[in-house]
Chain A
Amino acid sequence: MRRFFLVVFIAAMLWCGAIWFGRSVLATTGIDAAGQCIGDANRDGAVTVDEVYGAINNALDDCSLMPITLQFSGNVGEQTFTCGSIYHGVGTTGADIVPSDFRFYVHNVRLIRDDGVEVSVLLDQDGIWQYQNVALLDFEDKTQPCNNCTKQMNATVRGKIAPGTYNGVRFTLGVPFRLNHADQSVAPPPLNLTGLFWSWQDGYKFIRIDTAFDNLRVHVGSTGCYYVRPNVIGGCAHPNRGEIYLPAFNPANDTIVADLAVLLSDSDINSNQPDTPPGCMADPNDSDCDPIMRNLGVDFANGLPAAGPQKFFRVVSPTPVP
């Protein structure tokens, strides 16, 4: 029943926006008793996504949503990642690596209720790590050799969700299409970090892994984007957003581990296809990307979610105390 009201509410607001712009002649449905556009919190005559978001948050608060925190961890194998540490036995040749950046964006985070229904997590709009439905996970603290990074770190996704029992999680790796192609020079946090700008592709690096010394890098974002109208990107030949599904996940206790060793497990760290950037910059002609993209849940051939499972993320449950 609550869902039903929510849907009606959102529809009413969108409708209101349409009327305001003269696209609909259907009268007054979107106007409140005071004659104002419903959902137009700042009274500028348009209902923005921010306003819809705020309204939904309020609507759901009233429905006594419960706060929820999803715990992430950045790992290299079984070890937690820290800047400057050396990790052994990575990739097909068992190489040593010293990672110097470890960040990625996720969006559209959903938990799977015990009845199988996917329920969205409404992210807290904290002005730092989370904006609309996108969050940045950041495991580096700018100590050597993580030079191009930020001191602050973030290993959680925080928000609200309808009460229920949840036992799985889904999310999309990357920045959602609309935000990916907005004006970066005035973007709000966490979309204002220039280390994650990918301006020549008119977007963001969805994931950024760097290593010191051997200069291996994994920078993946959408490629082959194109305009349909001046300044309006219509789509991207290779969206490169992995769909992550972790079926057994208890949000109360479990941790979502992102594992660099697994990401690079099918790559030869010490070799690079000639005339291509070191590692994988999502260039469709760079064969070094093939195994990496697969492990991120992306089909390298078309940039769409892969048929096979992703490997980068896994769930770790606390070991039960005997």
Chain B
Amino acid sequence: MRNSGNPPRSPFFKRGGRAAVLGVCLVATMATSLARADTPYVFNPPKGFPIPKVPDDNPITLEKIALGRFLFYDTRLSGNQTQSCSSCHQQDKGFTDGLPNAVGSTGQMHPRGAMSLTNVAYATVLGWANPLLTSLEKQTLVPMFGETPVELGLAGMEEELLNRMHNDARYERLFAEAFPNDSDAISLGNLVKAIASFDRTLISGNTPYDRYTQGLDDYAISDSAFNGGRLFFSERLECFHCHGGFAFTASVTSQGNPFDETSFTNNGLYNIDGKGGYPLNNTGLFAFTQVPSDMGAFKAPTLRNWKFTAPYMHDGSIADIEGVIDHYAAGGRTISTGPFAGDGSKNPFKSNFIRGFTLTDEERQDFLNFLLSLNDDELVHNPRHSNPFNAWRCPGDCGYDGEVTIDEILSAVGISDGAANLALCVAADRSGDGDVTIDELLAAVNSALNGCASPAAVAP
């Protein structure tokens, strides 16, 4: 949301004043007094992207997304009310937390780092190496109720959690809107469905690389980056085998795709005992299958938006992208001292696509430039993914573009008389009580007339 001083104004309001608002109210009341229903969400993926699969029992709607977004950012979703999903998945860090290992609500350290949520809608499997988490719905239960390690720390607190939701008028309304067929819409199943729906909207594909390959802008990437791309997709560097496809990760699927591809590979980070050993609390796929050759096998994460997601690897053990290139150039990592000492390049379970390579200085620069072209500033700034509890900053700005249009005022009016769903414009409900009052309508009009930075935009 841009709090710019001078948004373009609607001519209607230049002349307008309150009389106009009243007229609008009337029209809106007539237009929207039809029965409310949930509103299907239409994916509008970037060019070159398929449509994500959505589970049959959780069709995606605007109402679920709006609800899920609040839940994702709500610290009431942790036992001690200090953390939310967004504590570890921060938008400005590509939905990671910048730490090598995530830290849960009770201070317990996670053995692994928070993962990027870029394009999770397409993931066949979630987490660094958990073959069982095949839906975002299932995955959501893990940070909520998991105890080794504690993340949100809600185990055994389901009743209290639902009470917290019940005690919030806005949630009462958003849940009811999102699940109109349920007599008691505030339930664990629905909460999980809403969060998963929000996760599915975190789609990112407007990078210089995309603009170039989709033919939208021939100059989106430099010659150097172009040459670097040839290296990326070459049998010399092999990156594309595991970080290939539109999502730059192998474990993806989409609508119409009959294959749910998943792959877990060992990229030679450790070799503790010379027999391929990884640290005991991070054995990767092996922890689930106990198959010896699965030792150290992890999901190759997406390379999109890496600029925001350092440090790298499951345990954050590589600090920056230069270190990553060194790692692959050496064909694995050698640790010379300490409990994890060993030559990862000789790990017997290492994928044979990781063989090492030498780059000239120029090639290395090209390669880096290519990798840089995989970053999309849009995701980290998209106001639709931002913290909705800050929506009061621009009352009535349903679309979060920093200005309030006549359509947005109409939505607000529809909500205030109960004809439209609050989910369609949570920014109209400045006070967060689940209702849009006359005062809030006036605040929205004020934003329309005077811009978002008008005096109305103070914390309620």
The interface of chain A, by Cβ under 8 A from chain B, is: 147-150, 183-186, 192-195, 197, 199-202, 219, 223-227, 230-231, 233, 237-238, 274-277, 281, 283-285
Contacts and interface: CB of A to CB of B under 8 A. Distances in A.
Interface in B31-58: none
Interface string B165-198: 0000000000000000000000111011100000
A184 B141 contact: yes
Contacts of B144: 194
Given A275-B281, A276-B280, A283-B287, A227 B156 contact: no
Nearest to A273: B280
Contacts of B193: 185
Given A194-B145, A199-B142, A237-B289, 20 more contacts: A147-B156, A148-B155, A148-B157, A149-B156, A185-B188, A192-B158, A192-B188, A194-B141, A194-B155, A194-B157, A195-B156, A197-B141, A199-B141, A200-B132, A200-B146, A225-B288, A274-B280, A277-B148, A284-B290, A285-B283
B154 A281 contact: no
19 contacts: A147-B156, A148-B156, A183-B189, A185-B137, A185-B191, A186-B188, A186-B189, A194-B144, A195-B155, A195-B156, A197-B141, A199-B145, A200-B130, A219-B147, A225-B132, A225-B288, A231-B135, A275-B280, A275-B281
Contacts of B147: 219
Contacts of A226: 131, 289
A202 B189 contact: no
Contact of A224 (B141, B145, B280, B289): B289
A148 B153 CA distance: 10
Contacts of B157: 148, 194
A239 to B, nearest CB: 13
Q: Which 5 A-B pairs have the closest CB atoms?
A: A148-B156, A195-B156, A275-B280, A199-B141, A186-B189
B401 interface: no
B318 interface: no
B255 to A, nearest CB: 14
A184 B138 CA distance: 8
Contact of A194 (B127, B130, B156, B189): B156
B279 interface: yes
Contacts, number: 88
A194 B280 CA distance: 27
A24 B174 CA distance: 46
A144 to B, nearest CB: 14
Given A200-B132, A275-B281, A185 B141 contact: yes
Given A192-B158, A230-B134, A223 B288 contact: yes
A149 B156 CA distance: 5
Contacts of B135: 231
B156 A193 contact: yes
Contacts of B288: 201, 223-225
A11 to B, nearest CB: 31
A283 B289 CA distance: 11
Contacts of B141: 184-185, 194, 197, 199
A100 to B, nearest CB: 11
A237 B256 CA distance: 32
B188 A237 contact: no
B280 A285 contact: yes
Interface string B226-263: 00000000000000000000000000000000001000
B249 to A, nearest CB: 18
Given A199-B141, A199-B145, A281-B148, A150 B132 contact: no
Most buried by B among A183, A197, A223, A233: A197
A274 B280 CA distance: 9
Q: Which of A150, A194, A200 has the most CB of B within 10 A?
A: A200
Contacts of A184: 141
